[in-house]
Amino acid sequence: MAKTKSLLNTDRPLTIEEVYEARPRLWLLYTVVVLIIAALLGWSGSAISYNGLANKGMEIAKGIANGLTHPDTHLLFNLTDEGVPYQLLQTVAIAVLGTLIGGVLAIPFSFLACDRIVPKWVAVIFQAVILGIRTIPSLVWALVWIRVTGPNAFCGVVTESVCSIGMICKMYITAIEDVDTKILESLDAAGCTGFQKVRYGMLPQIIPNFISTVIYRFDINVKDATTLGIVGAGGIGAALIQCMNSSRWSMVGAYLFGLVALMIVIEIFSTRVRNRLARG
Amino acid sequence: MKNNQTNEVVVRPPLFDRIFKPKTITLSNGHTVEKPMSRAPFIWAAVIAVVLISARMTGFDFRVIIERGGQLTYILSRIFHPDWSYFRGIFVEADRANAVKLFNALLDTIKMSIMGSMIGATLALPIAVLSSTNINKNKAVVWFFRIILMIIRTLPTLIIAKFASLIFGLGTYAGTVAIVVFTFGIVAKMMYESIETIDMGAFEATESFGANKFQAFWSACMPQILPTYLSYCLYSLEMNIRAAAILGYVGAGGLGILINEVIGWRDYESLGAILLGLFVVVFIIENTSQYLRRKLS
């Protein structure tokens, strides 16, 4: 080590071999990292025991493969309340309303939790509240709200809106902290009123970020809305899980086809819109 | 195209501006400028229409929340008065059973997510390389893997877990499989996006020395993507701990089984204690992982 260091301090240009000799040697760090990973793997492997397939595992796997290749086309293109299109539309409707309400509710929360705007202690209190909201899993929130609304799509809407607050707030706060305050100062110097400062100095900076966040969360919420159906909060999930429990694989195939198609369309749409927002 | 023509740029206005003609304003110096019509009213109309349709479809009714809002506190207040016996059991012999139940479930959840994240992230790396356009020049292979990744990402984790628990039986194995699939989809996508942004000069230089694609990738690209890769692995671990906690709801092992059980008994005080335990674990792991990720970048 001492030799390589002294080499690097000389004034003459080094040869390739000398530079290669003086390359950083991190093998100790690498060994430690690999050892830690191996230890973690060994430790976590202790809980996961493979007991072979379930009783009818192979049969079920075949059924699933069969259902996915032969989806129930009657159900897939059925336009009544039972059909896949209506269920998908309801899932999207839950996600749209949930995300919008969540996005609006998150605005006061994020301003109150941002320590650049409010006193430190207020910010800490609201950050704790947001953390508390995030810790309760969405399925438990759905159970909490079912008592208020009854088991229907409305329950999905309120659950989604409460669950979205956590993540949306986190990203809103980053957007608020990134605001360039020099613009506010120059507007101040130009003699603008408080309202004008917010309208022309703040809003143009934060609104594209806010909309982008909401669209990103909409993506996640559509996916979440499908799982909320498991506890009876509307959307496609309820029907899907029922079909899975009663082994009607071709119906499962139809629901999954619809779901995958919907998610791909939404992802493409949301990426497009967010790219346009980012480029202005 | 003829070269001697002057390059006159003809900007074709977008469809919107051809239908709704922009307003022409004549300035004091005689020049005219065009002010396109604002899109805002149309966007607002579309948003309001979508909201109204959604509200109808979901049966949204604000009065219900006001009238029956009191019911909300029924479960929430019980969750916020957790059953402390789950934690007292660490010190007191009488409550030992509850504490053992909670801690075993928590450890199972952690082990499931660590194992699943590691396997999923390891599988994701080669697929990410195969689906990045700057290293793999074969368009067909790139799009084949990208479409597969897209389909995997669209499946909700709970549905994957349900499938896994039907095939592999109830327990942690099914949960681990679900986490592997989920992690694989996410990490592979984030990785191919960042592989596409790396500096390819070193890769081409190594190839020009006669290295094959694998050698060139290993010595020229690996050092560039390794920090990002490790950071994504840690990020996926953070997400997986949260996800693993509810996988048990469909029988895939871990904390979710316990959550499902106490919800079945309407024992919301115990639910509060379990969620508190989960909160502590998530808090510790998130902070450790964020610290490590800051070190990596």
Q: What CATH code is carried by the domain that includes residue A272?
A: 1.10.3720.10
List for chain B the helix, strand, coil content (%; round to 5): 75, 5, 25
Q: Which domain holds residue A7?
A: 2-45
Q: A173 with A230, same domain? A: yes
- A234 CB neighbours in chain B (<8 A) are 58
State what percent of residues in chain B have pLDDT above 70.
Answer: 97
Residues in chain B: 297
Residue A1 predicted with pLDDT over 80: no
- CA dist list (Å): B267 to A274, B95, B263, B270, B279: 44, 16, 6, 6, 19
Q: A7 with A122, same domain? A: no
Q: Which of B53, B114, B279 sits opposite A40 (nearest CB)?
A: B114
Which of A68-82, A260-274, B77-91: highest mean pLDDT? A260-274
Q: pLDDT digit string (tens) for B2-41?
A: 455 556 667 777 777 777 777 888 888 888 888 887 888 8
Q: Are B120 and B236 in contact (CB under 8 A)?
A: yes
Which residue in chain A is spatially nearest to B266 when comparing CA positions? A143
Q: A112 with A245, same domain? A: yes
Q: A141 with A228, same domain? A: yes
Which class does domain B85-296 fall in? mainly alpha
CB-based contacts of B25, cutoff 8 Å, min separation 6: B32, B33, B34, B35
Helix (H) or strand (E) holding B273: helix B268-296
- A89 CB neighbours in chain B (<8 A) are 57
Where does residue B84 rank: exposed (0-12), middle (13-18), buried (19+ CB within 10 A)? Answer: middle
- A97 CB neighbours in chain B (<8 A) are 51, 54-55, 58, 60
Q: Compute the nearest-CA separation of A171 from chain B (Å).
A: 16
Q: A126 with A8, same domain? A: no
The answer to whether the CB atoms of A226 and B159 lie below 8 A apart is yes
Q: A228 with A164, same domain? A: yes
Q: Compute the nearest-CA separation of B117 from chain A (Å).
A: 10
The answer to whether the CB atoms of B111 and A43 lie below 8 A apart is yes
Q: A65 with A121, same domain? A: yes
Domain assignment of residue A174, yes or no: yes
CB-based contacts of B134, cutoff 8 Å, min separation 6: B195, B196, B198, B200
Q: A159 with A40, same domain? A: no
One-letter identity of residue A45: G
Strand partners for B34: B24
Q: Note the pLDDT of residue B78.
A: 86
Residue B128 predicted with pLDDT over 90: yes
Which of A7-21, B65-79, B184-198: highest mean pLDDT? B184-198
CATH 1.10.3720.10 maps onto chain B at 85-296
Domain assignment of residue A153, yes or no: yes
Q: Which range among A155-164, B8-17, B177-186 shows the weakest confidence by mean pLDDT?
A: B8-17
Q: Compute the nearest-CA separation of B84 from chain A (Å).
A: 18
Which residue in chain A is spatially nearest to B169 when comparing CA positions? A54
Q: A69 with A157, same domain? A: yes
Q: pLDDT digit string (tens) for B202-215?
A: 888 998 988 888 88
Detail the DSSP E strand segments found in chain B: 23-26, 32-35
Domain assignment of residue A247, yes or no: yes
B76, HSE (Cβ side, Cα atoms, 13 Å):
16
Match 């080094």 to its residue by tokens: A14
Q: A233 with A198, same domain? A: yes
Q: Own/partner pairs for B44-53, CB < 8 Å, 24+ apart?
A: B50/A96, B51/A96, B51/A97, B51/A100, B53/A93
State what percent of residues in chain A have pLDDT above 90.
Answer: 12
Q: Note the pLDDT of residue A65.
A: 84
Domain assignment of residue A53, yes or no: no
Domain count across chain A:
2
Residue A186 predicted with pLDDT over 80: yes
Picking from B50, B52, B54, B189 by the largest number of A CB atoms within 10 A of its own CB, the best residue to mutate is B54
Under DSSP, the state recorded for B93 is G
Under DSSP, the state recorded for A49 is -
Residue A3 predicted with pLDDT over 70: no
Q: A104 with A219, same domain? A: yes
Q: Are B183 and B236 in contact (CB under 8 A)?
A: yes
The answer to whether the CB atoms of B61 and A93 lie below 8 A apart is no
Q: Are A146 and B74 in contact (CB under 8 A)?
A: no
The answer to whether the CB atoms of B249 and A230 lie below 8 A apart is yes
| Both tokens assigned to B101 | 């139940």
Strand, coil or helix: what is B34?
strand
Q: A202 with A265, same domain? A: yes
